[in-house]
Amino acid sequence: MVTLSKIYTRGGDQGKTSLGSGERVFKSDLRVGTYGAVDEANAALGLALLYCEDGDMNGHLITIQNQLFDVGAELCM
């Protein structure tokens, strides 16, 4: 289990968020919206996997899901 020492900064966000690189960007930045959309697509694939009974299709969905995870990681840097 992951233990978080604190989950807040007490600095306020002024409408900004931090990328994985530490760079601060506005929450309206195209990258933030894009990796959010990629994350939602990945979650939808996870739901599809839950109900999919076709083994071959499961393999394809898992591959796509892993690729989307990598894309999201690249976008947040």
Arithmetic mean of pLDDT over the chain: 88
47, with CB counted inside 10 A (0-12, 13-18, 19+), is: exposed
For the chain, which domains are there? 16-75 (1.20.1200.10)
Please give the model's pTM, rounded to 2 decimal places.
0.73
Share of the chain above pLDDT 70, in %: 86
Q: What is the pLDDT of residue 66?
A: 94
- Rounded to a whole number, what is the largest CA-CA distance in the chain? 49
Low-confidence ranges of the chain (pLDDT < 70): 1-4, 7, 9-12
Closest CA to 65 of 50, 48, 46: 46
Asked whether the beta carbons of 15 and 26 are under 8 A apart, the reply is yes
